[in-house]
């Protein structure tokens, strides 16, 4: 059998090859690429020609090793299959990739093992910054994201007691506005469909609900508070619970802590013959794409999803490049209540 010949790696043109071909030193090549103005015209064209001819691209690992950067940021998402986050991700991706950063998406999916793996990744210096959409500072059994001296920015889900920049919307205010809309339509009996109690968004949206009622003197009725966990399925369950109430005790309107649950609930009560909005007005929260497809289309608080992502990404870039300097600690973007077909005046 013939001796296997030492394979000359084909793709690999290194800086030394370019230097040799151009008849200059490696330093000159590097400078030509990094700061063209410090090298005279003639050398520059020679070097660039050599670069083209060899098809040279710098080895990023080597560069990273030298300059202690990775040009990668990690973004932690609770669940990538959730369309809300998908659109936030688009905004993040636009901004970050335009600035030359790569994106590692950490899909937490409720798995502590995954979370720990990603924490280790960050602590190992694999990334230049982290974007947290997950409502908490990621941890592993032995350590915490803060141990990695890496810039952090949170978005969408506020993380209380932290000093890094956060980009959110005014959940309390807009939730309150949504409920006020129902009150103004004339509703006096307004149910609330909650998220998981421990979730910060749930707490804020519920606070908005209470606040709106307070202003009008309507008491918060514990019997009108339905429990869910932000998923479609619990919306369906809540719909059944609502149908179980004696007709006299039934609310004429409902505010759901997010769209998915609202849609699940509507589907259920429809199947039982109750009409939305004629018999029951429903308001959601988030403004997911589907809220505009479902039947009836959903009155909801539309979050600026792309913008939330883009703004958070911009703050992170600022942090990463200027080293320090959080621009503002808490940025709030405007969210808007959009009136669609799921709300109307209560039956007379």
Task: Give the footprint of DNA on this chain (CB under 7 A).
Answer: 9, 12, 14-16, 23-28, 30-31, 33-34, 38-40, 42-43, 56-59, 62-63, 65-68
On whether the CB atoms of residues 86 and 57 are closer than 8 A, the answer is no
Pairing status of strand 129-132 against strand 102-107: unpaired
DSSP letter for each residue of 235-281 = HHHHHHHHHHS-GGG--SEEEESSHHHHHHHHHHHHHTT--TTTT-E
Query: Can you tell me which of 47, 148, 155, 344 binds a copy of itself, judged by CB under 8 A?
Result: 148
Q: CB 58 → a copy of itself: shortest distance, Å?
A: 7
136 binding a copy of itself? (CB under 8 A): no
Binding mask 190-229 for a copy of itself (x = CB under 8 A): ----------------------------------------
Q: CB 83 → a copy of itself: shortest distance, Å?
A: 6
DSSP 136: S
Q: CB 208 → a copy of itself: shortest distance, Å?
A: 26
Q: Is the dihedral of CA 295, 306, 212, 134 positive or negative?
A: positive
Q: CB 314 → DNA: shortest distance, Å?
A: 24
Query: Can you tell me which of 289, 328, 339, 345 binds a copy of itself, judged by CB under 8 A?
Result: 289
Partner whose footprint covers residue 80, from DNA, a copy of itself, none (CB < 5 to 8 Å by kind): a copy of itself
132 bridge partner residues: 76, 154
**296 preceded by a cis bond (ω within 30 of 0):** yes
Question: Between 1 and 40, whose beta carbon lies closer to DNA?
Answer: 40
Pairing status of strand 336-338 against strand 225-226: unpaired
Distance, C-alpha 280 to centroid of its chain:
32
- Binding to a copy of itself, residues 61-120 (CB under 8 A): 61-62, 64-65, 70, 72, 80-83, 86-87, 89-90, 93, 97, 102-105, 107, 109, 114, 117, 120
Question: Between 117 and 197, whose beta carbon lies closer to a copy of itself?
Answer: 117
CA distance 63 to 259: 46
Region class of 135: left (phi > 0), else alpha (psi between -120 and 50), else beta: left
On whether the CB atoms of residues 115 and 140 are closer than 8 A, the answer is yes
324 binding a copy of itself? (CB under 8 A): no
Question: What's 191-225 look like in SS3?
Answer: EEECCCCCCHHHHHHHHHHHHHHHHHCCCCCHHHE
Q: CB 90 → a copy of itself: shortest distance, Å?
A: 6
What H or E segment, with its residue span, contains residue 321?
helix 305-321
Partner whose footprint covers residue 87, from a copy of itself, DNA, none (CB < 5 to 8 Å by kind): a copy of itself
Q: Applying CB under 8 A, which residues contact a copy of itself?
A: 10-11, 57-62, 64-65, 70, 72, 80-83, 86-87, 89-90, 93, 97, 102-105, 107, 109, 114, 117, 120-121, 123-126, 148-149, 232, 263-264, 267, 270, 289-290, 293-295
């Amino acid at each position: 059998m013939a001796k296997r010949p030492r394979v000359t790696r084909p793709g690999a043109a290194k800086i030394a090859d370019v230097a040799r071909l151009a008849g200059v030193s490696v330093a000159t090549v590097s400078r030509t690429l990094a700061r063209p103005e410090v090298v005279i015209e003639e050398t520059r064209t020679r070097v660039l020609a050599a670069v083209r001819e060899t098809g040279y691209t710098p080895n990023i690992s080597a560069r990273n090793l030298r300059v202690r950067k990775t040009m990668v940021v990690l973004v932690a998402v609770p669940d990538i299959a959730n369309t809300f986050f998908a659109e936030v991700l688009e905004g993040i991706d636009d901004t970050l990739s335009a600035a030359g950063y790569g994106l590692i998406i950490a899909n937490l999916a409720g798995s502590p093992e995954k979370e720990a793996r990603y924490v280790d990744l960050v602590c190992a210096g694999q990334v230049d910054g982290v974007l947290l959409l997950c409502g908490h500072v990621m941890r592993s059994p032995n350590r915490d994201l803060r141990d990695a001296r890496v810039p952090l920015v949170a978005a969408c889900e506020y993380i209380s007691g932290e000093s890094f920049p956060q980009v959110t919307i005014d959940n309390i205010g807009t939730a309150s506005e949504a409920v006020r809309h129902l009150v103004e339509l004339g509703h006096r009996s307004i149910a609330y469909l909650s998220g998981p109690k421990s979730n910060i968004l749930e707490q804020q949206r519920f606070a908005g609900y209470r606040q709106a009622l307070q202003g009008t003197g309507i008491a918060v009725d514990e019997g009108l508070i339905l429990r869910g966990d932000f998923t479609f399925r619990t919306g369906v369950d809540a719909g059944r619970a609502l149908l179980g109430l004696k007709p006299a005790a039934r609310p004429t309107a409902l505010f759901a802590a997010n769209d998915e649950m609202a849609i699940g609930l509507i589907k259920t009560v429809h199947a039982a013959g109750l009409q939305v909005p004629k018999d029951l007005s429903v308001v959601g929260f988030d403004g997911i794409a589907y809220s505009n497809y479902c039947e009836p289309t959903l009155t909801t608080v539309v979050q600026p999803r792309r913008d939330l992502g883009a703004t958070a990404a911009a703050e992170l870039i600022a942090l990463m490049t200027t080293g320090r300097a959080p621009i503002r600690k808490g940025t709030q973007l405007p969210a808007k209540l959009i009136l669609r077909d799921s709300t109307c005046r209560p039956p007379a």
